[in-house]
Amino acid sequence: MIVRQLFFSLVLVLGFSVLAPVPALSAEVCFQCHDAKQFQARYVHEPVTASRCATCHNPHVARYQGLLRSREDILCYSCHKKQKTDFRQGIIHEPVSRGQCSVCHAPHASNRQALVRDNLAEDCFGCHKTLPREFKNTHKPFADGQCISCHRPHRADNLELLNREPDGLCRSCHEAPQLAESHKNYPGKITDCLSCHNPHGSERPALVRDVLHKPYEEGCATCHNTPGGNTMAACLTCHENVKSQMYAPHNHMTLHEGNSCLNCHSPHAGNDKALLKGPERLLCAACHEETLAGYKKSKSKHPPVKKCSQCHQSHGATDLAMLRGNGNDVCVQCHEDQGKFTHPVGPEVLDSHTGQMVTCVSCHNPMGTEYKYHLIEEGKKALCVLCHKTY
């Protein structure tokens, strides 16, 4: 009996010792294999200075790369609790939203404050691959790799993650007398700097964007002397090919006041022939923020496409959501066999609860849902009974 009690006591002691938290692992043990010099710099992460490697790493085995005890962002936010709250608000930088803190921050040591990696600009180009690294005329902060002199690295209240509104940001360096001297005979107050200038660089002097609007190149009178101001009618006088699209049942004109063209296009200069104010995805996101936020949160969604205009008309269309044709026409651009071996679709197949032609988007929502294959309902039954109510 006594032997049995001793045996169970020993089992309990061993059990608790296995379940107990792992004590702080001395860095001396880790540095037997890992070169200590790699963990030395002007700024050192606090757990490293305290020799608490085991705070983040499991010394034996782990589910995460680098033997991390948990997902990277969960580990970081376990100490940086204020940042966890702050980084949920506004427009979130994509590495932050994905929880990839180490894309910009060195986890152990760095020569830059806040453990920012030594060559932050190089890390920026790692994601922003389409952005040219240099121009014939390059803006000095861009040339010096000082991305954060204009952009916030974590979150902001604007899609470009700017430190402040664009004109105020420009004036923080370019003072009023300097602007007046370089903009002689400018009609009115100097505003909307980015409608003419590229903040990173240009092939033209003074960072004027590469492609000039023809009326701007010839002089201001064509647009600014138009009775009633620079109205949308003035734009359509030249761009007649767009008029039918803008007057279509679903268009980009109805929800905006004034000249809707200027919501997306610069009247002076741009980086491409369309004179877009910025990358298409950012322009679309400026109005469709809620839709894109839902897309990011959805469990199942269509893989990302390079441009929204691959599926949607830019100005207007007769089809719902300004699609480039009905749902089938859009999808078969990539899914060539769609409708040939799956559920029947097309003008001869009508949706019983809408009376409309069945298309791919009758069952799928490419912007994301909670169901597999981004179906609008659970695919085993709930989706089918929307149309097939009787058996």
Three-state SS string across the chain, please?
CHHHHHHHHHHHHHHHHHHCCCCCCCHHHHCCCCCHHHHCCCEECHHHHCCCHHHCECCCCCCEHHHECCCHHHHHHCCCHHHHHHCCCCEECHHHHCCCHHHCECCCEECCHHHECCCHHHHHHHHCCCCCCCCCEECHHHHCCCHHHCECCCEECCCCCECCCHHHHHHCCCCHHHHHHHCCCCCCCCCCHHHCECCCEECCHHHECCEECHHHHHCCHHHHCCCCCCCHHHHHHHCHHHHHHHCCCEECCCCCCCCHHHHCECCCEECCCCCECCCHHHHHHHHCHHHHHHHHHCCECCCCCCCHHHCECCCEECCHHHECCCHHHHHCCCCCCCCCCCCCCEEEEECCCCCCEECHHHHECCCCECCHHHECCCCCCCCHHHCCCCC
Q: Return the pLDDT at 6.
A: 41
State yes or no: pLDDT of 314 exceeds 80.
yes
CA distances to 56, 135, 331 from 351, in Å: 55, 54, 18
Q: How confident is the model at residue 339 (pLDDT cuts 50, 70, 90)?
A: low
Sign of CA dihedral 369, 370, 371, 373: positive
Instruction: Pick the more confident residue, 213 or 188.
Output: 213
Once rounded to an integer, what is the mean pLDDT over residues 334-358? 80
Q: How confident is the model at residue 26 (pLDDT cuts 50, 70, 90)?
A: low
Once rounded to an integer, what is the mean pLDDT over residues 101-122? 92
What percent of the chain lies above the pLDDT cut of 90?
Answer: 49
State yes or no: pLDDT of 19 exceeds 50.
no
Determine which of 136-140, 255-259, 357-361 has the lowest per-residue pLDDT on average: 255-259
Select from 141, 180, 136 the least CA-distant residue to 163: 141
State yes or no: pLDDT of 71 exceeds 80.
yes
Q: Return the pLDDT at 211.
A: 96
Distance of alpha carbon 265 from alpha carbon 195, whole angstroms: 9
Once rounded to an integer, what is the mean pLDDT over residues 165-187? 89
Contact 112, 118 (CB under 8 A): yes
Q: Return the pLDDT at 4.
A: 47
State yes or no: pLDDT of 23 exceeds 70.
no
pLDDT digits (tens, 9 = 90+) for 274-313: 999 888 988 898 888 889 889 988 999 999 888 999 999 9
**Taking CA 55 as the corner, what is the angle to CA 50 and CA 56, rounded to the nearest 5 degrees?**
120
Q: Return the pLDDT at 289.
A: 85
pLDDT digits (tens, 9 = 90+) for 40-62: 999 999 999 999 999 999 999 99
State yes or no: pLDDT of 8 exceeds 80.
no
Contact 342, 375 (CB under 8 A): no
Task: Tell me the average pLDDT of the chain.
Answer: 86
Q: Return the pLDDT at 10.
A: 39
Q: Return the pLDDT at 22.
A: 43
CA distances to 104, 151, 155, 370 from 293, in Å: 23, 21, 15, 14
The β-bridge relationship of strands 269-270 and 250-251 is unpaired
State yes or no: pLDDT of 21 exceeds 50.
no
pLDDT digits (tens, 9 = 90+) for 226-239: 665 557 778 888 88
Distance of alpha carbon 297 from alpha carbon 21, whole angstroms: 34
pTM of the model: 0.77
Once rounded to an integer, what is the mean pLDDT over residues 303-332? 90
What percent of the chain lies above the pLDDT cut of 70?
Answer: 89
pLDDT digits (tens, 9 = 90+) for 164-175: 999 999 999 999
The tokens for 247 are 């007057």
Q: Return the pLDDT at 376.
A: 93
Q: Return the pLDDT at 57.
A: 94
pLDDT digits (tens, 9 = 90+) for 105-114: 999 999 999 9
